[in-house]
Structure 1
Amino acid sequence: MLENSLAFAQKLDAADPLRHMREQFHFPKAADGQDEIYLVGNSLGLQPKRTETYLAEFLRDWRELGVRGHFEPKHAWLPYHEFLTDASAELVGAKPVEVVCMNSLTVNLHLLMASFYRPTSTRFKILIEDHAFPSDHYAVESQIRFHGFDPAAALIVVKPREGEHCIRHEDLVATIEREGASLALIMLPGVQYYSGEVFDMQGITEAGHKVGAHVGFDLAHAAGNIVMHLHDWHVDFAAWCSYKYLNSGAGSVAGAFVHERHVARTDIPRLAGWWGHDKKTRFQMGPHFQPIPSAESWQCSNPPILSLAAVRASLDTFTEAGGIHPLREKSLKLTGFLRFLLESEFKGDIDIITPFEPRRHGAQLSLNIDLHGMKAKDVQKKLETQGVACDFREPNVMRVAPTPLYNRFEDCYRFVQMLKATVPAS
């Protein structure tokens, strides 16, 4: 039985087997010199303390070895991305052959759509969700136009029902079945950035494949947040950034997944570059592209090692925590406690639009606030001045994400008390 008290929150923290992980991170400081109540890991994760060491290792190798750094150090640059493969695969439920760290998220989506969006005169439509992350919407529309189609005819946008904030799975499936043979690609998030809703990726993939469409996911808010089984779900492709729940620093190198059944195919078009060429013959510098029989064949250029070092630091931190499964277990407890506190204090005056069912939400709760003349943006700004880090998204949602690697139950309690002082319940 949950209790609305500081003592109870501290009791939960004392019993938390992951409480030691908080000490692995640097926290920004509030005006009083104390650690911020940092609840915005869904936008930018905190810096792991080992990151500085990993970056310094690269800088030392570069300083002391110059070009030989590609081959001689413990973490040689030529195969550096391979040091990230196993941990990345484990995080998204994939085989190592199916994942690669490269580029940025939207670049990866474009590269993957170049391979998996192959429209014809009859099968040319792409399905996305309403209020998709703008970059995804832009990327999809530009792919449609690039292939000579009109988004007005080729873009299918699935919306929530009137008066609802989240899209029902049955409505997605019904739309997929209705569009049927005209549907070329389904491109949805694993976790919707605005509402915090977790999509049924397995069910969506099954429905898409049943009508002959390819299915891909943007996992920006899913990677490092929820448990996934991309290989077993037979997802065609996916991409994710690494600076939110993966704590690799702003704009750090992203990740990509291509299902095993596709990686060795030579009939799939790729926007090729030399880092995707067969490693055994890459330095023969021949003119004919021979793809690596793995997701690595979607690489174009050698990656930035400084950024990969930060990703490696993050992934090693996840490994120290025992991987995604214990983190997800704690996350559900944290978010459940936060929801309980909000409902206890505000009695429905604040609308939590994120679904209640554990399978349908991750670490984030999205709060629709319209109380005493204050909107979500006003509340977020006031909390920010008091040492609380959360964020706002148009038109009226304050996003709050207790992250299991470094947040405490006490953070949730103190946040709600500060929210209560900022926006008194009616």
Structure 2
Amino acid sequence: MTFEFQIRALLSISIWTVLSTHPAWAEDHSLQLKAETSLTFDNNLFRLPASANPTLILGKPSGAEQIGINTLSLNFSTSLSLQKINLTVSIADSLYQNFSYLNYTSYNYNAELKWSLTPKLHGILSSNRKETANSFSDYLGLNQSNLRTEMTTRMEAIYEVDGPWRVLSGVSQFSQINQQALVAGGDHTTQTVEAGLGYVFASGSNISFRQKAVSGHFLNRVLPSSGAYDTDFSKAISDLRAQWVMPDNSSADFYLSAITQTHPNFPQRNFSGLNSGASINWLLTGKSSVKLGQSRDVSAYAVFLSNYTQTDRLYFSPIWQLSPKSLVILKNEWAHIAYQGAPNGIGISNQRNDETRDTSLSFYWQPDQRLTFSAALQNASRASNQTGLDYNSNQISVSAQYSY
């Protein structure tokens, strides 16, 4: 019996126990059905550089595409005493007008049990599945579909010792499966065990420290490997996080994580680094706010000339409440991505560096409690020191959602 199956079985048993211990099912429950339809126009779906010839690469004179997505989801929530259950299941049908081989139907779910044995001992059992299309920004198989399925199961426990102190623990499993083979970001599973301490201030501000041990396995790799691609890896993470709640309901978040990843068969693939970030959600007036922040994230990216990426990101997002029924959100994000840690020191002087920018303007209108309309304009671009990796794309999208 696998670790993932054990957690899912425990989640199913726990939910069934909560629902079956009360003849009226629960003290409070709700059921909501949502239907959403959206239409997106992308003038550069395959993220081709301006110098590319779409006819030679795609067999068509343009890489522009119109994508229609129809989604039906069911949300169920209920509570009994200290226990709370949230369940969401959805089916989404994605249709491509010009490149129909990319059509797909995804089935997703998120199940969560917020359990509590006593007011001081509580936690979360959760399981979710998400299926999406891989981005073409780094995937070269342009003439075939490549879906990515991610599944996560997690069990978390929190014990409130005395006053503000918390003892934190958790176990989880994650799996990522791609329809087509990828070198960086290929099929793999991870199992994580973590423990830590937290402190909650009377103001609602909090600080926590967690130590995590991650064991990972790549599903489609075999040894020996001429490219030094390992089948297994281990990761140690020391994670410090803090949230400051301000008197005007603004808040600021901070994190600092030390990461070390090792490989048993190819130590030249080992790397370590610091992840850090700070953000503020600042309420300017009763109808406007702004979120801004910066981060540095180190993550595995094992290819011929690199072991990992270091991404420095800056983002800025003002929000305006135009009326009780309408909202406007502007998002700006800039990032510098450095591909580092060349195995055996090969190609250090020519390692890849990217500059990306993502800007979007979204408008939301809710004329009725059950009906929501939205529209968005988006531009995404990348400039790279490697030939053929630059791109610029513009998107326009509209959607309508009805809840019952």
Under a length normalisation based on structure 1, what TM-score does the superposition of the two structures give?
0.21
Larger radius of gyration: 2
Q: Greater share of strand residues, 1 or 2?
A: 2
Q: Greater share of helix residues, 1 or 2?
A: 1
Relative contact order, higher structure (CA 8 A, sep 6+):
1
Under a length normalisation based on structure 2, what TM-score does the superposition of the two structures give?
0.22
